[in-house]
Amino acid sequence: MSQPKRIVIVGATSAIAHQCSRLWAQQGPCDILLVARNAQRAEPLATDLRPRGTHVTARVTELRFDDIEAIKALVLDATSSGPLDIVLIAHGSLPDQNACENDLHTAQEAIRVNGLSPVLIAEAFVGAMQRAGSGRLCIIGSVAGDRGRKSNYVYGAAKGLVERYAQGLQHRLALAGSAVRVTLAKPGPTDTPMTAHLKQDGAKLASAEAVAEAIVKAVEAGRPVVYAPGKWALIMLIIRHLPRFVFNRMDV
């Protein structure tokens, strides 16, 4: 039997993260550590994963995503039995833009959860991976980070931070000649509990299963960026390059 893949999923209760974990469990032997803010919510996910493949183990741990010492302890625990093969950082929230505009505490929390926290966790894990000389790290960003729009610019700013971080990290690893690969995943609007209000408003949403499949393939290939679904690469290319005088007339 081949050595099981050692996988860490931060934000394991995310619908996209759960679908990714299912795909990895089906690929073969793996040891999956599910990291969540609420361990009780993640336990059923571990139970769901174990029978999905041969020699699949899954355990749950709880983490305060803004606690630096807890992040360090998580990395030590996750790497105590050997190098990691895959780390997926998937936690986040979709804040109400109007609430962010009217309450600085809400805006601060949105940036902390969606931008600062994923970056700090990624930095802690990638250091361990670089020392081991191997591993794949994936951070879930968003198409919202490609250009600020009035409808979600606080969330978009946080995801823009994640994108710039991922670019710099990829540059650092390339110059170091490291075998570690970093993938930035940019889902478009996806059918998850976080976007239930968009679905009620009639928005067309991609399935979490399709988005997860694209992410898993990109991680395996070591791609630096993946838009999911792929059509968003073209859509955001156009949006990024619209002249400001045109863009400022669009109610988006």
Strand pairing report for 86-89 and 56-62: unpaired
- 144 closest CA partner among 105, 207, 94: 94
Cα-Cα end-to-end distance for the chain: 52
**What does CATH list as the number for 5-247?**
3.40.50.720
Nearest to 46 by CA among 62, 55, 29, 33: 33
Q: What is the pLDDT of residues 4-50, one digit of tens each?
A: 999 999 999 999 999 999 999 999 999 999 999 999 999 999 999 99
> Per residue in 135-178, pLDDT tens?
999 999 999 999 999 999 999 999 999 999 999 999 999 999 99
